[in-house]
Amino acid sequence: MYDIIIVGAGPAGLTAALYARRANKTVLVIEKSTFGGQVTFSPKIENYPGFISMSGNEFADILVEQVINQGAEIEMEKVVSVEDNGQTKTIVTDSGKYEAKAVIIANGVKHRQIGLENENSLTGNGISYCAVCDGAFFKGKDVAVVGGGNSALQEAILLSDLCTGVYIIQNLDYLTGEEKLIEKINGLNNVKVITGTVVEKLYGSDELTGIGLKREKDGSLSDLDVSGLFIAIGLVPDNDAFSQVAGLNDYGYFDSGEDCRTKTPGIFTAGDCRQKKTRQITTAVSDGAVAALAACEYIDNM
């Protein structure tokens, strides 16, 4: 029996663990894939207070070490459901069950897919969602990046140092990232921006060999020979497994507010998985602190 079990080891979940341990609560953090969450995919962070510049992996490593040093336990398992038993909660994973007095769901979000045929089968075989993770596999080759926001532009900048050519495919007629990043992109000779265009086809059976493009304005088609396709078109929630204990809004995000409380006493949410206007590392960390303190108060008043 733990005081608090936290689902997810991103900035929100790890901050919650830190605050809960500082309040002398027993804590278990359960993570299904990557300690640090989506932040580990970011090649450079320059907007986190107190740090001029760092990579997402550096930030995650520091936070994980800090939480472990505080005495929190961490397990690598996938949580499939959370059951409300009144004063206790059962967390069901793909490996077993755990009990806790309170639960904080901080499971983050997942990458949005294009939705094309054989996209899943080509993921890991030419299609990637992380230039930091997979960029080196395409050194000296041509690649494309789908998206026009900050994440896509950061991916393209990183890939420009490794690849012969980088194509940015944006469905809008303009890039939506920060002006500083756009200026950087415009100064790179091996990066070409293709706007008003979508990826319509994926070529290749075992490995990606190219992509089919469609101009939004006139419907004209063209092909692009690339060895890699990096998809950076946003993130979507993955909260269905918890909908019985934590209500969802129309977009699939937890409908908990700034107090991070759900419809079920003793169950809280934190980070990008809940409804909010701004999703940044700083707001995730803030949620983690709020949710942990609320969970501690709940336990103390049981």
SS3 100: strand
Question: Could you tell me the strand order of the sheet in which 165-169 lies?
Answer: 127-128, 228-231, 142-146, 165-169, 191-194
Structure tokens of 46?
Answer: 């320059």
Q: Please give the Cα distance from 185 to 205 (Å, whole number).
A: 32
296 is catalytic: no
Residue 163: active-site member: no
Q: Which residue has the tokens 């926001």?
A: 149
Any catalytic annotation for residue 130?
yes
* CA–CA gap between residue 72 and residue 288 (Å, rounded): 15
Of 3, 61, 84, 133, which residue is the catalytic one? 133
Nearest CA to 72 among 32, 117, 13, 123? 13
Catalytic residue among 61, 134, 142, 238: 134
d(CA 267, CA 152): 35
Q: What are 194's two structure tokens?
A: 């293709």
Using left for φ > 0, alpha for ψ between -120 and 50, and beta otherwise, residue 124 falls in left
- The one catalytic residue in 3, 61, 84, 130 is 130
Q: How far apart are CA 138 and CA 123, in angstroms?
A: 14
Query: What DSSP character marks residue 251?
Result: T
Q: Which active-site residues does the annotation give?
A: 130, 133-134
